[in-house]
Structure 1
């Protein structure tokens, strides 16, 4: 099986490239991973995307590319839609031409956060931000073009290879001995290593359609930060603030919790609790920082 990972230098993309070969088994004894970044393919350019994918001839395309700077999207609107919407469309069209399955990574930001309880896949999206609107447009384009796809909505990603909420908290806490974190934004912290395994499950089982995939459980960003310092033992004061007190360009969903029962039932795999994943991540992060 040949898997093309587009966005291979991103946080999730690097995890996929490193982990996919380790998932080989009797059903898929040979997994060839082709890593592609912006130097190899420009998904905002249809002909370039088509030519590159036709040359690779992948069985599966995992599109990890996103303009994910939520606040920057509010001013760079054309860039957001070019990457998150048109880019997804171009990948889907090229995948259809070559017969490749499309795995597309989407976001909890397609919802407005007004629901009481976790969002399921059939809940109606209502994005508040340009980022969310552009990601939703990408989802809709894929669904219109292809029937051989899996769209994976995930949330609050962190991993070893890029700056993220966890590393930001650690760095700020160790520098200032206090951090201010919002208490009224709730979601599902998700470790990219765990998400990588779930993506492989979706590929190997040939699951199709729309799935929510995060680590199990929800928390506020304030609770997440408190847990980070509890696990590291750092003596850092976590100060509660409200979203209204934290000035930013983009509106974000207050409740971004995703219900992942559909994925668990279809795959037979339930993602572990976010607290367990965070504990493992911090061990690995400390090990990598000391080497």
Structure 2
């Protein structure tokens, strides 16, 4: 297959391109220089010229706190940019995969979120990703919406890299313990995304590595596996205020993956181990 991948400079886009190549697919990678997704004319030109059978849309504005002040820019990229792609995919009758987020939910309660649960975002980033989902659903039947959470990969910044960097200058850290979710390794996720794009099993899905933890537990495991002697103190979100509100509950129901014959991602602790072997 010929597949266009947006956001190839990011953690996920980078790994998706590698996975496509491994399987003999032709990945056409674009970032803002090749295809500014906010420019509808450019999106139309590039997708048509590349003669692809599918688009995996990884590009996004992901600076969650900055988004609270940059609402229009965030919306332009996450909602309007996604709509621009969806429109062209509809005209060409090709598949589209949209990478979304657990932030489309309000993060309340303790029940795992199911793919078709009502969406009530609690910050600007989540709202614009939700608007992107709506655009995809408005124009397309042949779509995959994949919600992910707590992402880490070799390319770009992430929580693991932040913790390791802090461990060089701190022997004690405070990390929130009242936000629960599942870390997601982009290498593992890329395998699943390519598995999915090869099928016609369309719809909304949740995809994270298996197992749950708090950010505090995640930090403890990072330092344990990396052999760093850092004392981690569990604190509440109230003690660690951020500009954008964060969901307390990012548990995701992933049973739809196995129901449709897809292989779930490995345990997050295993993913962390393989990741640290690469970056350390």
Task: Report TM bin, short chain.
Answer: over 0.9
Of the candidates 115, 122, 147, which is equivalent to residue 109 of structure 2? 115
TM score, norm. by length of structure 2? 0.98
CA distance in 2, matches of 1:242, 1:45: 42
Counterparts of 1:138 and 1:35 in 2: how far apart (Å)?
A: 21
Alignment of structure 1 residues 1-291 onto 2, 5 Å: 1-24=1-24, 31-286=25-280
| Structure 1 CA distance for aligned equivalents of residues 188 and 59 of structure 2 | 19
Number of matched residues? Answer: 280
Task: Tell me how far apart the structure 2 counterparts of residues 53 and 99 of structure 1 sit (CA, whole Å).
Answer: 12
RMSD: 1.0
- How many Å apart are 1:285 and its aligned residue? 1.2
SS in 2 for 1:52: helix
Instruction: Flag structure 1 segments of 5+ consecutive residues without an equivalent.
Output: 25-30, 287-291
SS at match of 1:70: coil
Structure 2 residue ranges without an equivalent (≥5): none
Shift of residue 116, structure 1, vs aligned partner? 1.9
| Cα distance in 1 between the residues matched to 2:188 and 2:140 | 27
Instruction: Give, in whole Å, the separation in 2 of the partners of 1:130 and 1:189.
Output: 22
What is the CA deviation profile of residues 224-251 of structure 1, one whole-angstrom value per residue up to 9, with x for unaligned ones?
0000011111101112111111121101
For 1:242-267, what per-residue CA distance to the aligned partner results, in whole angstroms no more than 9, with x for missing partners?
11111211011101111111012213
Q: Judge which range, 89-98 or 191-200, deviates more.
A: 89-98
Q: Deviating runs (4+, > 6 A) in structure 1?
A: none
Alpha-carbon distance in structure 1 between the residues aligned to 2:267 and 2:104: 23
TM-superposed CA distance for 1:137, in Å, is: 0.5
Deviation at 1:185, TM superposition (A): 0.7
8 Å CA contact 1:205–1:267 kept in 2: the answer is no
